[in-house]
Amino acid sequence: MTEHGTAEPARSRAGVTRRGLLWWGAAAAALALAAADDTDAVLAGGFGSRGGPALAQHNTSAAARLKEEASPLRRSRSGAAAGATLRRRAHQPAQSAFSAPVFSLSDYVKRTPGTPAFPHNAVLLTIDDGPHPVWTPKILRLLHQYDAPATFFIIGRQATQYPALVRAAVSEGHHIANHSFSHPPGLPSLPRAAMTAELLDTQDAIVRAGGFTPRQFRAPGGRWSPQMMRLTAAHDLLAVDWTIDPRDWSRPGSQHIVESMLAADPGDVLLCHDGGGDRSETYDALKIVLPQLKARGLQFVTLPAPQPAKR
């Protein structure tokens, strides 16, 4: 696809495709096992939506982290080794609506019968861990400037503390989804009652703040388990992951975030953050990314509108 003013990075899909197939195979096996034995083994421990100092931190062991970084299946769109963009999905088998997370817009349409097809040039910008009193207003102004609707995956505790920011996002045409109440990195392995509270307390917080009932959920860090998938399905929440993760939560530098996000193709789900700490790098990157993606002819879309809350 032609870009204006920016050379398109080289891409490597083979490793991602193999990783996707391995993920689905592992997911299917684990879900089958869970039907007989309520196992809470985590399926996917990918990098992803993690908060900064204000949120709980991920405690991956050094050995596990080294193993992740060494894997040829975890590479960026440019083919770089670990530490660059994590592209979660290429082409994967059809799944029922609630059997596994969705990773792209085409995946979303396949799993939600009756959903109209997105435009051929659509991308979905998702923004996690807010609302934040400093960065959410700044990012909202930026989105308004470039006419770029986004989907905000809201933390319930933040929605309770800053309800006006949730209302502001809704009033400006953005979509709101559930991202747990306190962003626990070990959410999939919590007892079912605690896991349920994380989901439902966030639903209640968003209803009170914004007047809408979310219909999508993203697990902190993109970590899922069979029990987590069953729980989201039981509460009519579709699990949503992402395609491109610039790891902006780790503050890798604005240039890294820009290069990662500019690797977007039509149908991709982009991940970034407005909460969890200092998001100046993300903000600076979006000032470059939003106009450049639009100049390439990509169109920002949101997920289908949330349902009015039942009073």
Give CB contacts under 8 A, 24+ apart, made by 133-138.
133/162, 133/165, 134/279, 135/274, 135/275, 135/279, 135/280, 135/282, 135/283, 136/162, 136/165, 136/168, 136/169, 136/274, 136/275, 137/165, 137/168, 138/283
What does the domain layout of the chain look like in residue ranges?
14-308
More confident residue, 167 or 8: 167
Could you tell me the pLDDT band of residue 307, with boundaries at 50, 70 and 90? Answer: low
Active-site choice (107, 128, 245, 274) = 128
pLDDT digits (tens, 9 = 90+) for 2-44: 333 333 333 333 333 323 433 444 444 444 334 333 333 333 3
Active-site choice (129, 183, 273, 274) = 273
Active site residue 4: no
Is the domain spanning 14-308 CATH 3.20.20.370? The answer is: yes
Q: Are 180 and 199 in contact (CB under 8 A)?
A: yes
Dihedral sign (CA 221, 50, 148, 84): negative
What integer best gives the mean pLDDT of the chain?
77
pLDDT digits (tens, 9 = 90+) for 143-152: 999 999 999 9
Mean pLDDT of 77-105: 56
Active site residue 273: yes
